[in-house]
């Protein structure tokens, strides 16, 4: 079968047999792809140091009729190597890659997961605040999965939500009368930040910083929403 080339990020690498690697890649136009990189752990010639996390590569793939595609070579387009020069940036980038893997689907032509991952890594590489970037990434991911956290109106009755009356119920904001008992309220400042994080273009993510006080409110709510939207708890979640 014919080979094809595509831009991709590595989402996961699992050693297989003596020298091979099963790679999960995120492509821009075909979503997530699993591919076998034969000899990847031995041959530096075909894969160089480019088959790794936080690298944008041009991947050459050969589909297989019977099963997993073969990754025949990779060419480095850009490496976000400054990420591994700092523990906080590395941890943030690892979380972003793991969540990208859980949130993306095979055969999905939507470019959003790829673009969001690329923009997040670029922002981390460029020195953006890791904590804020992780939170914005999480909020945007929850929105991509179909659960926009903030819309300005109560998702229960459709009415406007008064100041100090906003509750987060499951994955949406509701007013006091629609809120289930024991649900938490969040401040208008936090709602505004949620909205801003959802709206801000990828290229400007590092310009939005979330203060520690706001993040104390948003953190648990967003993480809970993320876990529900993904239907899984990321291994790296408890770090944030």
Partner 1 sequence: MIAGPIRQLIKEFQRLPGVGEKTAFRLVMHVLESPQPQAQALADALVEIKQRIRPCSRCFQMTEEEVCAICASPKRDSSVICVVEDQASLMAIERARQFYGIYHVLGGRVSPMEGVGPGDLRIAELLKRIEGEGVKEVVVATNPNVEGEATALYLKRALEPYDVEITRIARGIPMGGDLEYSDALTLGRAFEGRMKY
Of the residues 77, 157, 232, 239, which one makes contact with Zn ion according to CB under 5 A: 157
Nearer to Zn ion, 51 or 178 (CB): 178
Of partner 1, Zn ion, none, which one does residue 236 interact with (CB within 5 to 8 Å by kind)? Answer: partner 1
Q: Is 178 a binder of Zn ion (CB under 5 A)?
A: yes
What x/- string results for residues 38 through 77 when contact with partner 1 is judged by CB under 8 A? ------xx--xxx-xxxx-------------------xx-
Kindly state the DSSP code that residue 160 receives in the 8-state scheme.
B
Query: In angstroms, what is the minimal distance from the CB of 161 to Zn ion?
Result: 7
Query: In angstroms, what is the minimal distance from the CB of 125 to partner 1?
Result: 13
Kindly state the DSSP code that residue 17 receives in the 8-state scheme.
T
Distance CA 33, CA 104 (A): 10
Of Zn ion, partner 1, none, which one does residue 175 interact with (CB within 5 to 8 Å by kind)? Answer: Zn ion
Instruction: Using DSSP bridges, classify how beta strands 32-37 and 69-79 pair: parallel, antiparallel or unpaired.
Output: parallel
Q: Is 84 a binder of partner 1 (CB under 8 A)?
A: yes
Reported for 145-151, long-range contacts at CB under 8 A and 24+ positions apart, including other chains, are 145/103, 145/229, 145/230, 146/229, 147/171, 147/172, 147/225, 147/228, 147/229, 148/198, 149/173, 149/194, 149/198, 149/221, 149/222, 149/225, 150/191, 150/194, 150/195, 150/198
Q: Quick count: other Cβ atoms within 10 Å of Cβ 153?
A: 15
Which residues lie near partner 1 (CB under 8 A)?
A: 12, 15-17, 44-45, 48-50, 52-55, 75-76, 79, 81, 83-87, 90-91, 94-95, 97-98, 101, 234-236, 239
Which residues lie near Zn ion (CB under 5 A)?
A: 154, 156-157, 175, 178
């Amino acid at each position: 079968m014919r080979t094809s080339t595509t831009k991709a990020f590595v989402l996961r690498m699992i050693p297989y047999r003596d020298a091979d690697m099963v790679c999960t890649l995120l492509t821009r136009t075909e979503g997530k792809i699993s591919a076998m990189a034969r000899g990847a752990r031995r041959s530096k010639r075909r894969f160089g140091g480019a088959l790794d996390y936080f690298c944008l590569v041009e991947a050459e793939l050969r589909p297989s009729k019977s099963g997993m595609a073969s990754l025949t070579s990779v060419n480095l387009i850009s490496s976000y190597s400054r990420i591994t020069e700092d523990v906080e940036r590395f941890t943030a980038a690892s979380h972003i890659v793991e969540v990208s893997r859980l949130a993306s689907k095979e055969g999905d032509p939507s470019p959003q997961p790829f673009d969001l991952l690329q923009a997040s890594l670029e922002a981390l590489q460029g020195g953006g605040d890791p904590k804020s970037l992780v939170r914005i990434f999480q909020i945007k991911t929850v929105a991509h999965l179909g659960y926009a956290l903030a819309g300005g109106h109560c998702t229960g009755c459709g009415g406007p939500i008064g100041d100090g009356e906003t509750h987060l119920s499951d994955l949406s904001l509701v007013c006091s009368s629609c809120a289930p008992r024991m649900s938490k309220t969040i401040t208008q400042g936090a709602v505004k930040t949620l909205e801003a994080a959802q709206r801000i273009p990828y290229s400007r993510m590092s310009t939005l910083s979330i203060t520690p006080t706001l993040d104390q409110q948003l953190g648990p709510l967003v993480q809970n929403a993320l876990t529900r939207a993904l239907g899984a708890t990321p291994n790296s979640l408890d770090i944030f």
